[in-house]
Structures are given as C-alpha cells and as structure tokens.
Amino acid sequence: MAATPTPLAQTPSTVLVVEPEGAHAASLASPLERHFPLRRAGSAAAAQAALAAGGVQVVVADQRLPDGSGLDLLAAVRERWPDLLRILVTGNGEPAAAGIARGGLFQYLTRPYHPDNLLLTVTNACRFSRLRREHERLLAQRHPGAVHTADLSPDPWDRRQRNWCLDAIVRGPDSPLESICDQLARIAPYDIPVLLTGESGTGKELFARALHESSLRAMQPFVAENCGALPDQLLESELFGHRKGAFTGAIADHVGLFEQADGGTVFLDEIGDVSPAFQVKLLRVLQEGEIRPLGSEQRRRVDVRVVAATNKDLEDAMLSGSFRSDLYYRIAGITLHLPPLRRRPGDLGPVCERLLRDAARAFGTALQHLSPEALAMLERYHWPGNVRELRSELQRMVVLSDGGPTLGPQLLSAKVLGRAALPDAAPAGAGSLKERVEALEAGILSETLTRCGWNKSRAAAELGLSRVGLRNKLARYGLDLTEGDAAAAVSDDR
C-alpha cells in the first residue's frame, strides 16, 4: 500500500534524516525521499550543523548515532529550535515516557516499522508544521501593528508568538516594563483575572490586549468597555445585553459584550468608577459565570476572562468603603502596576520613535526624528497624560514642522518648553528673592526663545521688550548663544 502523493505535494517541508551511515542507511530515508525535500546527516554533530543552516521543518532521528543518542540530539534540538517537529526511531522497544517528554517528540516509531508508517508520520508532521505557519500568518494579518511579517521565519513558535504580542509594547532595553511583560507572558495562558493599575495613558489597554493575544483565547474576541463613562442602566445593557422593550429606547434585542466575547476576554476599563449598586451585579455575574440580559428571565452561561483596569487606588477605595472587597478579590487575581512614563526615562526615546513612525504613516508624511535637544526637553517634562499626551505632542510637532527630517525644540509646545526651562532655572527655596526672580526670568527668556526658534525679534515682541532690551538680558544671563548652544545649555544643566 502506498500513501497518496497528493497532500504531500502541498507540504513542501524540508525533512532532515539523521542516521548512521552504513547499517540502516537506506531504511529511514528511502520511504521519504520521493516525497520530501530531504537532507541527511550521519551524526548528531552533523545534524546540528545542518539545522544551523536553516530551512528544515521536520527532524527524523535514529536513536543510535555514532556520537550519542537520537533522544539526546532531539532534546538539544528542542532547546535551540523548539519550532522543529521531532520524530525518533528506536531499535529496541519504546523510549521511556520521560525521554519522550524530554525530546518533546511529535512521534516515535519502533523497529520494525512499515515504511508507510514512517511516511505517514512525517506527512502528518509536515501538515502540522504548515497549519501552524498558516495560523501565524493569520495572526499576523489580524494584528498588523503587533506582528511584522518579516518575522515569519521558522523560529521558536511559542516564544515568538508571545513576543509578537508584546512587540506592540514599546520599551527600552532596561525598561521596568520588561519584567511586567515577562509576568504577563507567564500568566497569559491561565484563566486568572488580571487587574492593571497605573495612570491614564500608561498602556493599560495595550497590556490587556497583549494579554489576550498571548492567551489561548487569542482567536476569540477581545471586547473593551469603559465602565466609568456610562450610567448604571446603560452599562448593564452594554455588558449583559437587553431584550426589546426592557426600558424606554430599547427598540430591539441587544447582545451584551459578555456574550459577544464568549470564549474570549472582556476588558473592564475604569473599574474603580463603577457604582456600588453595579458592583453587586458585576460580582454576581463573575461568581456565577452567567448573565441575564435586562428584561429577560433567562440566564445565559458565558465563558470569558476578565481583565480590569483602573487609575485609582482600589485598596484605598476598599478601605474607605467605596469599592467592595469581594469584587476586588474577584478581579484582582494578579495585579500588574504600570509605572508612569516619567519613571521610565529609558523608554521615552524608543516610544517617540514608534509614535513618529505612526504619525508619518497616519499623515502620509516622510519619517522625521527628534533632535537631541528636543528629546532632552521631552525628557524633562513630567507627562501626566503619559504616552497618550506624548503622542499628541509629537503629532503637533509633525504638523507644525516644515517637513524636514529633524524636529527641533522650537516645535515643542509651551507647556513642555516651560517645564523644561523653569524648574532648574528657579530652584525652590534657594537664594534671595532677587536671585530667584532673575532665575525665573532667565527661564522665561529661554522658553520663549526656544519656542520662537531663536528669532529674537519675535521673542522680544512676545515678551514686550525691545530687541536691545532682550539682548541685554540675554547677555546678563549668559543666554546669548547660538541656537544649538542655547538649547544644549538649557538641557545640560540638569
């Protein structure tokens, strides 16, 4: 009986056969060579070298190799190339269960085996490999922001899928977000409720999506609701649905987000703003895993993972009685706190780069970069609105610019310039009143000049000074420099 060749034609995976030359030389390779692009290696070392060259999807190894066991080889292969599908052929009896687990085997065969059995096993491995890559491609299509198609090379599957989702979270090399990403990847597969805390714009929703994408629910829906924005009845209808006529204005049945997300994840944003009455309803749903649409008698079972977020201190709210502790413990299986941007100075540069790329794409303009002076000033600002505020600042710079490749400090908004110039110029509690007023004046001059692109006539007009008056003041404060020097002077004395 010969296996049908048709499906094999669609699975052009490359197979590496590892077996000692001589004794069985023909036996492993011969049923396969007509059907697959085949590579051969006569030892474990040769196999590693062949795999390092890339392009192989399936490895079939004989247990007896001149320089070690096939199982040891496959365990080592698993470490370096966890994506490869591994098949072991043993001479005498089954490998121990522990050995199978160690090698992460797709399948093993014991001698004697029918050649078609080997062919079928390898065919299935190739199919599996192809389906997996197809799945990766679909994921990439669904999340173009998070996944770069250039990454679609045969690489560690699990690890990379996880990393893709985390790629959307931009961070510098020593970012405190790194360990949060690690934790997120670790907890993603488990259906434990996660609470994300942090100031507005720190990326709570971004992390919630990454958590969903890294979880086994990734192919199911992710739905988000801002719980702080709606009165109770509307929120209830949004989350749990309603029947036609349930309240004035309910002109048709509505399927709530919990039902829409069935099998997936519900993101409850601003959970700290939910009224005490609604907290009770939410708690019941989470405890029972059932929803009842408004105006309906019927309960419906839903399977969702809940991820909640808040910029409030819920433990405080619990102590003051405004947030129920039983609900808190329901939603805060694990809490991840996202630090604000001002505590992550190493993230600012990379985040700016990503945001500028986004802006260029959104506005259809050429990619622009920040000048070192502009970046230094952005670093001094405290970013109460975090990345969201940074995005609008950079978009503003892009649209105000002349389209040149570099965005200089003169494009920064007054709030960023003011903040960058003032605190160091007017240190709190130091010096006499005269000194402190002068320091403040120097800060204002420097802010205005930077904003006016060191156009002294404009700055003088704005400040209600004559050009001579301005020049005298600049000389007094040592600010009468060229543009680049002046910006550097402002940023260097930090």
Residue 170 binding ligand ADP, by CB under 6 A? yes
List the one residue out of 45, 41, 80, 79 whose CA is nearest residue 61. 41
CB of 233 to Mg ion, least distance (A): 23
Which of ligand ADP, Mg ion, none is residue 354 near (CB under 5 to 8 Å by kind)? ligand ADP
Which among 456, 451, 444 is positioned nearest to 481, based on CA atoms?
456
Candidates 225, 300, 226, 234; CA nearest to 262 is: 300
Token duo for residue 425? 């110029």
- Compute the least distance from the CB of residue 214 to Mg ion, in Å: 19
Distance from the first to the final alpha carbon of the chain: 80
Q: Cα separations (Å) of 192 from 20, 275, 287, 367, 476?
A: 49, 24, 13, 41, 63
The answer to whether the CB of 404 falls within 8 A of the CB of 370 is no
For ligand ADP, the binding residue among 102, 143, 342, 388 (CB under 6 A) is 388
**Cβ-contact 403, 440 below 8 angstroms:** no
Nearer to ligand ADP, 83 or 269 (CB): 269
Binding status of residue 354 toward ligand ADP by CB under 6 A: yes
Alpha-carbon span 58 to 47, nearest angstrom:
12
The entry of ligand ADP, Mg ion, none that residue 169 binds, CB within 5 to 8 Å by partner kind: ligand ADP
Residue with smaller CB distance to Mg ion, 205 or 441: 205
Site for ligand ADP in 444-473 (CB under 6 A): none
Q: Which residues contact 65 (CB under 8 A, 6 or more apart)?
A: 18, 19, 20, 43, 44, 73
Enter the tokens of residue 384.
């109460």
Interaction between residue 395 and ligand ADP (CB under 6 A): no
Task: Quote the least distance from Cβ 182 to ligand ADP, whole Å.
Answer: 15
Tell me if the bond preceding 66 is cis, omega within 30° of 0. no
Q: Could you tell which of Mg ion, ligand ADP, none binds residue 351, using a CB distance below 5 to 8 A set by kind?
A: ligand ADP
How many C-beta atoms lie closer than 10 Å to residue 12's C-beta?
Answer: 11
Binding-site size for ligand ADP (CB under 6 A) equals 16
Count the helix, strand and coil residues of the chain and give each as a percent rounded to the nearest 5. 50, 15, 35
Question: Looking at beta carbons, which residue is closest to ligand ADP?
Answer: 203
* Calpha distance 150→164 (Å, rounded): 12
DSSP codes joined into one string, 34-63: TTS-EEEESSHHHHHHHHHT----EEEEES
Applying CB under 6 A, does 163 fall inside the site for ligand ADP?
Answer: no
| Piece of the chain touching ligand ADP by CB under 6 A; list 35-43, 163-171, 258-266, 318-326 | 163-171
Site for ligand ADP, residues 258 to 297, rule: CB under 6 A:
none
Residue 304 CB, nearest approach to ligand ADP (Å):
19
Contact flags string 201-240 toward Mg ion, x per CB under 5 A: ----x-----------------------------------
Contact window for Mg ion (CB under 5 A) among 28-36, 200-208, 438-446, 456-464: 200-208
- Structural contact between residues 199 and 311, judged by C-beta atoms closer than 8 angstroms: yes
- Of the residues 125, 387, 439, 487, which one makes contact with ligand ADP according to CB under 6 A: 387
Strands 58-62 and 68-69: unpaired
CA 41 to chain centre: 39
Q: How far is the CB of 372 from Mg ion (least distance, A)?
A: 31
Residue 269 CB, nearest approach to ligand ADP (Å): 6
Q: Smallest gap, in angstroms, from Cβ of residue 204 to Mg ion?
A: 5
State the minimum distance, in angstroms, from the CB of residue 149 to ligand ADP: 19
* Choice between 60 and 308, CB closer to ligand ADP: 308
Whole-angstrom Cα distance, residue 188 to residue 169?
A: 15
CB-CB contact of 437 with 423 (8 Å): no
User: Which residues from 202-231 bind ligand ADP, rule CB under 6 A?
Assistant: 202-206
**Closer Cβ to ligand ADP, 344 or 473, answer by number:** 344
Subset of 305-334 contacting ligand ADP (CB under 6 A): 309
Q: Which of 84, 223, 351, 370 binds ligand ADP (CB under 6 A)?
A: 351
Residues that bind ligand ADP (CB under 6 A): 169-171, 198, 200-206, 309, 351, 354, 387-388
Enumerate binding residues for Mg ion (CB under 5 A).
Answer: 205
